[in-house]
Amino acid sequence: MKKHILALVLVSITVLLAAQPSPNCYRLYLADKNNNSYSIDNPSAFLSERALAKRARFNIAITEQDLPITPQYKQQIRSVDANIRLLAESKWMNTVTIYCPDSTRLPQILALSFVDSILPVASYDETLMSAQLAPEAEIPYQEPIVINHDTIIPYDYGSGYAQIAVHNGHLLHNEGFRGEGMLIAVFDAGWYGLDQISEFSPLFTNGQMLGTRDLIPFRNNVFVGHSHGTLVTSTMSMLQEGTLVGTAPEASYFFIRSEEPASEQLIEEDFWAYAAEIADSIGADVINSSLGYCGFPDFPQAEMTYEQVDGVWSIASRAATILGQKGVVVCVSAGNEGDNEWYHIGHPADAFDILAVAAVGIDSVVAGFSSRGPSYDGRIKPDVASVGVNTYCFYPEWAGPELPDYYFGWLGTASGTSLAGPVLAGMCACLWQALPAASSQQIMQFVRENGSCANNPNNEIGYGIPDFYAAYNSHVANPTYRPLSIEVYPNPCTNQLFINNSKQDIVSVQLFATNGNLVKQLSKTNSWQVSIPMNDLPAGLYLGQVRLQNGETQYFKVVKQ
């Protein structure tokens, strides 16, 4: 069996050498975890106290799957050649990913009794790989903080109002659920300047920044190299009232670079799986991954097909599924392939038991670029949708050589499912804070059930745009909450909007633009029906507030065409 697999590997390498750079990074599939110095009887050796508490809380068993790779196996692999480096590992898949510049060493590696097979995954620049980098100066991990509020004061969301209000997230925030005590792990390509920009300083001064890991071998500082993670994180973490407030401004964060921004190779799926296991081990509650894979242009020997988008083929997708089953709410971007030849979601959006997030505008219209489903095996994908068109976020900027250590941030917009994913991930953290007895699987199901098209899901936005306030109120005994009793029609509307309430009179109606400005107000109507002229308003999404005779307030959203 092994010799047959080795022959296939060596033949593929020989053929590829003629046209493409020779692979020098390989995924080793191991046969077992025998002779392991770790034991499931002593899980504190490989899982944090927070992770163990979560396993106990939700009755998630610790099994052999959770045991780290057998240490002596890794040592034996290294001993084959002094130039071999271990780049990634997956205890869940029992794989080790190595850099091995001398391919003639592969037969010797495969001859090891515990190695089942070898798969080429990348060709890395040997000059970069040989560089001796200083270890990353990690922020020491600590437990997430809980902020005790004496009173809850509504935020001035600034430009971020619409992308939160489309989920009724502002109402969940007003109940006091803003992410306190929740840990969000973010997988991305880099957080350029985030540690220097003043608008992000509350993360550090408040103790919300819990740590970083850089998995890319020739990089050693997540705060340089790429700015994508900075934009992504700002949609969740930012707390600059009047400018931008994110969806989970009081959550704690941990950054993991699993993406090499300069290339696209199969090995990045190995890094993604490695990041998933790190997130599990530190006890993360939610992960956001604005990363996805539907091809590997810098390693074309790993050509992808739609048939592989089945939740099983990819190591990253399998890891995402396991992560979702081990007590983590997994939010991944659906991808930006909807208007090109690929069209479909990729990895790990095809995973089971996760939330793959499509992009819509604040008008609830799906973006043309947002990747479509279904998964190849026919499951509804994406799962849900959030604002990924002109999403407000913070960009980093270097001040220049005159001030080499100074960075500043500026408010702008960006589009992509990369932005939709974190907007939703932050709201998931707030919802789980509000419903702590629910499991990760239940939280994700609550999100789906409260989507705008939950009764008729589709392969553009899945179960739709979730209403997080409704999800919260559906699962708590809240005597002040009642299901929406008003009728709002037509929606979308053009010239006139009607609001009915057959049970009691409507006292007042207020209509707000997405920037929070009051655009219409009707007071002392004392009628069961009101009409609002809309022909003088520009097209877009509007948020309404209706006060009823008994003092109850109800909220609605309407689109003006």
Q: Which of 82, 111, 130 is the last residue of a domain?
A: 130
Question: What pLDDT was estimated at residue 20?
Answer: 63
Domain boundaries, position 85: 2-33+69-130
Residue 64 forms part of a structural domain:
no
Using an 8 Å Cβ cutoff, are 331 and 284 in contact? no
Question: Same structural domain for residues 418 and 539?
Answer: no
Q: Based on the domain organization, do 104 and 222 belong to the same domain?
A: no
* Cα 488 from chain centroid (whole Å): 33
- Tokens for 535, please give them: 């022909």
What pLDDT does 477 receive?
Answer: 52
Based on the fold, state whether residues 392 and 279 are members of the same structural domain: yes
Residue 190 lies in a domain: yes
At 515 the pLDDT is 62
Structure tokens at 131: 């560089």
Query: Do 231 and 287 sit in the same domain of this protein?
Result: yes
What predicted TM-score, i.e. pTM, was given to this entire model? 0.86
Do 379 and 234 reside in the same domain of the chain?
yes
Distance CA 386, CA 80 (A): 49
CA proximity to 396, closest of 250, 231, 215: 231
First to last CA, the chain: 64
CA 371 – CA 340 distance, rounded (Å): 9
- pLDDT for 15 equals 40
Please state, in angstroms and rounded to a whole number, the distance separating the CA atoms of residues 188 and 233.
10
DSSP 399-413: --TTSTT-EEEEEEE
Same domain, 311 and 408: yes
Share of the chain above pLDDT 70, in %: 90
Cβ neighbours, 10 Å, residue 17: 12
**Has residue 474 been placed in a domain?**
no
CA 132 to chain centre: 32
Query: Is 470 among the domain residues?
Result: no
For residues 88 and 237, membership in a common domain is answered with: no
Number of domains the chain is built from: 3
In tens, the pLDDT along 59-100 reads: 999 999 999 999 999 999 999 999 999 999 999 999 999 999
Place of tokens 């033949």: 11
40 found inside a domain: no
Task: State whether 26 and 120 are in the same domain.
Answer: yes
38-42, 141-145, 264-268 — which is least confidently predicted? 141-145
Q: Which of 478, 443, 353 is nearest to 54 (CA)?
A: 443
pLDDT tens readout for residues 27-57: 999 999 999 999 999 999 999 999 999 999 9
pLDDT at residue 1 greater than cutoff 60: no
- pLDDT single digits (tens) 382-408: 999 999 999 999 999 875 666 566 677
Whole-number Å distance between alpha carbons of 307 and 266? 17
Q: What is the CATH number of the domain that holds 17?
A: 3.30.70.80
Please give the backbone phi and psi of residue 267, each rounded to the nearest 5 degrees, phi first.
-60, -25
What's the token pair of residue 557? 């959203």
Tell whether 279 and 332 lie within a shared domain.
yes
Is residue 278 within 8 A of residue 271, CB to CB? The reply is: no
Are 411 and 545 in a shared domain? no
- Collapsing DSSP to helix, strand or coil, 292 comes out as coil
Q: Are 464 and 470 in contact (CB under 8 A)?
A: no
Given this model, what pLDDT does residue 481 score?
45
172 and 27 share one domain: no
**Crossing angle (nearest 10°) for helices 228-237 and 417-434:** 30
CATH code at position 528: 2.60.40.1930
